[in-house]
Structure 1
Amino acid sequence: MAAPVCSQSEDEGFSSQDEQETSSREDSGDAESSLHDALYLKMTELVEFLLLKYRAKQPTTKAEMLSRVIRKYQDHFPEIFSLASECMQLLFGIDVKEVDPSNLTYVLVTTLGLTYDGMVSNGQSMPNTGLLVMLLRLILAEGDCAPEENVWEALNVMGVCDGKEHWIYGEPRELLTKVWVQEKYLEYRQVPNSDPARYEFLWGPRAHAETTKLKVLKFFLRDYRKDPRSVPSLFQEALSDEEEGA
């Protein structure tokens, strides 16, 4: 009878140890998930704070961000600040630029040297320059002239749909075909000899005056950790335009 009793005792011991290890791993995973959620929440809060600063045209400092937003997560500031800055740039077209290293002061400016602040009337309070920059890049990728159907197909993937109000960008068709055309960032014209009529987008004169193809190309390739020369035809064309402009 001793053998079965001993065997049962060992099995129970191993089972108890496995349960403890499993419980420990689950606790560790829960803690990691909880921290991840907390940091994500802080990132969104910092983005909201930076948007308020952008609208008010006010600078901010690291100390202010720590005291007003980050608080007890100060050890994670570099990670939170990096993600928030990337979100500001890609989603809203706003750069968070350090202007005073001595006290870590930052200003918020539209990216790529554009002077358009991305704020429109009719209650739309979210900067929309990020979508404009995306569209300039799309036109560049299409060979400087993007068919309208290709533009909407690409924007649909981002959740920006023709005729559907967007939570950041408002009514996109009005933005693309009227607002940015009036601002001279885009040209929207009928494709020559098209019947039925088809339309296409090009860079407008203000886009050419304020930024360059090379800057736009570098902006997007940097996010994919690539060198512009990895896209040789676009790089060569952008470089040629840069040299002609100089």
Structure 2
Amino acid sequence: MTNRKRLSSTQTPSQSRDEDDDPTFTQPSTSQVQRGLERLSTAQVDQRAAEVVQYILMKDQKKVPVRRTDLVKHVVKDYRNIYPEIMKRAARSFDQVFGLKLVEIDTKNHMYILINKLEYTEAASSISSPTNPKRALLFVILSVVFMKGGVVRENLIWNTLKKLRVDPGEKHEEFGDVKKLVTDEFVRQRYLEYVRIPHTEPIEYEFHWGQRADAEVSRAKILQFMGQLHEQDPQSWTQQYREAHSSPSSAQPSTSSQR
């Protein structure tokens, strides 16, 4: 299956169109950036970087990735010839002022998110009485996906939630439409991918580990959480423990489905 086909199976046609990068924008070279900076004052560049920070913070409230094409079109505008420098200064502001990290989770479509790993540490430690119920629900789902190798049929997710008295077929007091929250909101936020399984009748879907989860979620923390939940030593899950404590480059969940 090609990458384009895979994307089309997880997104609506309108989403796929929206995420096409601006064909008129070319990433400027180092020399082009340098020439552009020579024609601008430090204050002008800092001001545009501050506007980028404000724009991303506003968009991040819904946890939806920010596209480079939107940044260029709506914020950077005629400063596009120094785009790398503006993003460099914006990233520094997020780090030093807000304690956040700006991450490009999709290098093909150039999409950015803000991450704060502390949030997940807190979610894992207070899962029984979470201050943010949606985060806690998401953490449970990601835990199931991780323990199953990064891919799991949706029925297993729904059955797990039912055991927690969160029925995807009923309107929940806290979450509303649970199935929509998981398959729409969490997918748009890139925590999960919702992929149709080929050649199934009736049609079946599975959940994959998402790009934002790759950037934000500590697999070691998930395993620690599962150990507490099941009163079991995390090292007893040999494969998952090895994956959780491997180097970052090899710590991605596998793509083989355990069905």
Which protein has greater RCO, CA pairs closer than 8 Å, 6+ apart?
Answer: 2
TM-score norm. by structure 2 comes to 0.44
Structure having the higher Rg? 1
